[in-house]
Structure 1
Amino acid sequence: MPAPPPPPAPSPSPAASSPSPSPLSFLRALPRPLVRAVTYTRWLHLVIGAVVPLAGGLVYPGLSDPGPLDWLIAAVLPVPLVAAAALLPSARRAEGLQARLMLFPGKHARVRGGAGGDGAGAGGGDAADAGDAAGGISASPSASWTDRGRTALWLVFRMEAGLGVWLLSVWLLQCALVLSGVSVEEPVMGSLTPSGGARALAPLPLLALLALAVAAGRLDTRVARLLLGPSVKERMAALEDRTERLLERNRIARELHDSLGHALTLAVVQAGAARAAGDPEFTDRALATIEETGRAALEDLERVLLLLRETGRRPAGASPGLDEAARLLDSARSSGARVDAEITGTLEDLPGPVSREAYRMLQEALTNALRHAGPVPVGVRVTAGDARLRLLVTNPLPEGRPPAVPGSGSGLRGIRERAALLGGRAESGVEDGTWRVDVTLPLR
């Protein structure tokens, strides 16, 4: 009797498969911020803020032999002046540009491709800085009193935090000098008397100074994002601009889909019909139709590419309107389809956007009929009047082919989107064995 097969090995859990950070990798990540140039530009950005209280302190109360009260007075006295400077709209722009340059990684920082953050505890903010040069900082002038208030808070924070960082940095440097045996005549914050054997502790203040530079830079960056970030109005404007760009891209995609899809469908149908007919005269007509349709598609493609390249040149020709529907109908008839068209009303008087979009909808509806049903009878009814435009395209379903799902396909979706943008509606589906595309657009 054969032995039973061994039980399958348990599959590793996701927690077990993902490697946990080892103490060695943590130790390797610690010195990363120390080799990044942005760490020191952030520290410098804060220290620059201490210039105002230091200059004011030299005037009053004087910094020849300052005590804690003197430093407090030097920190508090310039606050009204700094807050008043924030009332200038350009102050926000100046602070935003300076913060972008000094607080966020760029070419001056030794970061490649966004990798290599500041180490553990960065909060994910620094990793995103490498991919975003602006760092979420606005460089627009103050447009409201809220912007001015946030700018005033930022200037006060930068001044007070800069003074504190400057005092701690100088004090730590003096501590390192004293522990190394160098005498300091005027210590910034109290005297330090080293004991014997204290020279071995001299590197500790320097390490503390480096840690101070890293921690202060991260704090400065987060406060800058909070106080110098875009306002609600700026975010709404950016969101509207992004929406406009997405709508323009979708419109261009629909233009290419409708124009090139129609041209390629007619070319395929005409070529197949010419090969099946074997008639030289019919082949000549088919080639002429393919040439005309291809030339029109190339013009549409050139116009769309000019828009994409944003060269500033005007397109060679305007988009065709519904008054040129005869060209579409003739192209469909030349492919073998029997098109019964009925046009009521004056198409030349239609509004430009309605006329252009209706042309593309008719083009897509005829293309779908030729592509999915072949050379079948197609009914086209266009009615312009009563403050609305109605476009109805019908064709019988081919035998042996299941009906399409109503609303499926990118072409039908494009028709619905075009109609919705103009405040109209578009419906498609099967009714009594006939495929119908029914579009209604308002003219006002």
Structure 2
Amino acid sequence: MIRALFGVRARHRWVHLVIGGALLMPYFLVGMVIVGACRSNGGSVDSLPLALITLAVSLPFPAISALVPIARPLLVFGVRALCGVDPAALTDRPARTWDARLRAAAWYTLHVAVGGILSGMSLALPPFTAFLIVLPFFPGLRHTVYSASGPLATPWGIALAPFAAVAMLLALAACSAAAGALLARLAPVLLGPTPADKLAAAELRAAELAVRNRLARELHDSVGHALSAVTLQAGAARRVLDADPGFVREALGAIEETARRTVDELDAVLGLLRQDDGDLTTPDLGALEDLLSRTGVKVTYSLDGDPARVPELVSRETYRIVQEGLSNASRHGTGPAVTLRVAIGGGELEMVMENPLGAAAPVVRPGGGRGLRGIAERAALLGGSAVAGPEAGVWRLSARLPLGGAR
């Protein structure tokens, strides 16, 4: 009970209530002016009923001032710092809807009203209780009490005055703890996320997840393809190191060029991570022949249609799909040839890649399979489709991408 009345949390909540009382003062002064103007004899607030009337008159003003969107983050900051409320139950986003604004206004009005009453009690009771505690020990004070009327104007009243003072202080602490607990309970209701806030947070998480997936696809396709090509070229060079030095020089040159291009693409992806640039520069269909020439496998390539008709986004994603298909062909295929056909027409781009299947089942790497999933995601985001799998002794990858349906 002592911790509940005088512990750290109780003291912090009392400070929060006193701050509410301080925030009430400008509005209370306006209420005093209004009440004084309505009274026939004017004057100041000189009685408890009149003070409560002035408080009621002044409360609409904090409610109106808390309707601004930026008020909610400021109120949440105070609650998180002093009220002991779970931060996850509150939202510090500006109140954009009227539902959120009205909730913030209700909270602010309640805070200043309860805080104003408790601040008045905190200012009035301690001096009075100090008077009661020292009353039995000073004859002059006792003479003053005896000359008045009331419960204290008796010997028993003066003797029990210190105990009454302690009871008043405990009652003040109990009122402060109860008021702080009430505000802490209502804070998640009035300052928590509204349905619109939850929807906005879900959309933000979805957007962040989409960016992460995009970065994962770019890193997997660019760096993964480069490593596959480098591994293939290095393995071929090692096998003919003594027999064909010319081929080894060509393989080393291809490895160098692949690594240089991959570093450039990796810099572009890291630039997006650093938010240096909102867009990610990616090779497109114009760079496809260069990709095929340094992939490390023989590719028979045919293009039907005008690449200039292909939108930039579709062109870039087609490049990445082909890149991942070549990586799979170099890792899992057999035989010297890969066939790639790209056809543009009828409002869509069709890409078909085939390579012979090996006699043994491909080795499944732990955590593998992201490449084909990334291809399907790229096609789906463009409003198209992609299918990959064995068919008649070959591995066949096909994708259909609409030229005008990119989402």
TM over 0.5: yes
| Alignment check: 8 A CA contact 1:265 1:367 kept | yes
Aligned to 2:20: 46
Of 338, 358, 371, the match for 1:411: 371
Aligned to 2:256: 291
Whole-angstrom CA distance in 1 between matches of 2:171 and 2:30: 27
Aligned to 2:93: 138
Aligned to 1:22: none
Matched, 1:252 2:215: yes
Whole-angstrom CA distance in 1 between matches of 2:278 and 2:395: 42
Matched, 1:433 2:354: no
Aligned to 2:340: 380
Whole-angstrom CA distance in 2 between matches of 1:314 and 1:438: 27
- Cα distance, 1:29–1:266 mapped onto 2, change above 3 Å: farther
Whole-angstrom CA distance in 2 between matches of 1:200 and 1:415: 80
| Alignment check: 8 A CA contact 1:393 1:438 kept | yes
Shift of 1:441: 0.6
- Cα distance, 1:212–1:198 mapped onto 2, change above 3 Å: same
Using structure 2 for the length normalisation, give the TM-score: 0.80
- Percent identical among aligned pairs is 36
Whole-angstrom CA distance in 2 between matches of 1:179 and 1:277: 104
Shift of 1:73: 1.6
1:391-415, Cα deviation, whole Å (9 max, x unpaired): 111222211225979xx70001100
Using structure 1 for the length normalisation, give the TM-score: 0.74
- Cα distance, 1:312–1:402 mapped onto 2, change above 3 Å: closer
Of 66, 75, 81, the match for 2:47: 66
Aligned to 1:56: 31
Which protein has the larger Cα radius of gyration, Structure 1 or Structure 2? 2
Of 160, 179, 202, the match for 1:239: 202
Whole-angstrom CA distance in 2 between matches of 1:414 and 1:313: 21
Give the 3-state SS of the residue equivalent to 2:324 in structure 1: helix
1:384-403 correspondence to structure 2 within 5 Å? 384-401=344-361
Give the 3-state SS of the residue equivalent to 2:375 in structure 1: helix
- Cα distance, 1:421–1:238 mapped onto 2, change above 3 Å: same
Of 162, 179, 183, the match for 1:199: 162
Unaligned runs of 5+ in 1: 1-25, 110-117, 119-124, 186-190
Aligned to 2:285: 322
1:3-18 correspondence to structure 2 within 5 Å? none
Aligned to 1:121: none
Aligned to 1:76: 56
| Alignment check: 8 A CA contact 1:40 1:213 kept | yes
- Cα distance, 1:298–1:375 mapped onto 2, change above 3 Å: farther
Note the aligned Cα RMSD (angstroms): 3.5
Shift of 1:155: 4.0
Amino acid at match of 1:395: N
Amino acid at match of 2:75: A
Unaligned runs of 5+ in 2: 136-140, 145-149
1:343-398, Cα deviation, whole Å (9 max, x unpaired): 21122331001000110011001101111235543221111111111111122221
- Cα distance, 1:276–1:207 mapped onto 2, change above 3 Å: farther
Worse overlay, 57-66 or 157-166: 57-66
Amino acid at match of 1:169: S
Whole-angstrom CA distance in 1 between matches of 2:192 and 2:165: 41
Aligned to 1:166: 119
Aligned to 1:8: none
| Alignment check: 8 A CA contact 1:379 1:393 kept | yes
Whole-angstrom CA distance in 2 between matches of 1:28 and 1:80: 36
- Cα distance, 1:324–1:29 mapped onto 2, change above 3 Å: farther
| Alignment check: 8 A CA contact 1:53 1:159 kept | no
Shift of 1:56: 2.6
| Alignment check: 8 A CA contact 1:179 1:202 kept | yes
